[in-house]
Amino acid sequence: MGTFTTKIESLDSNVTISADFVVITGGGRTLLCKETAEKLDLLRVGPMYVNGIGKTADDIRVNYPQLFEEVGILMDYELKLHYDESVHR
């Protein structure tokens, strides 16, 4: 039926943007496009690095040296491996 532009606000992220909306006849769901949802910080696509412990493997070794001192032995633990017996080398 038409389009209009208005300001919308995300109460979760406290972000306000201007967005275009399309009005249709008949039933349907209200949708935000990917770009609008990302601008409102409601959608994040891609890797998120939250609560990271370091940028490189060297950072991890420096910050947690006790994890790299020796090889441990796992005691009293059984592991069952599931495999396809029809597969041959």
The pLDDT tens digits of the residues spanning 26-69 come to 877 778 888 899 999 888 887 666 565 556 778 778 888 887 77
Task: Give the model's pLDDT for residue 19.
Answer: 92
Report the distance separating Cα 16 and Cα 7, nearest Å.
Answer: 7
Judge whether residue 7 has pLDDT over 90.
yes
Task: Give the model's pLDDT for residue 48.
Answer: 62
DSSP code, position 41: T
Task: Give the model's pLDDT for residue 65.
Answer: 83
Global confidence as pTM: 0.45
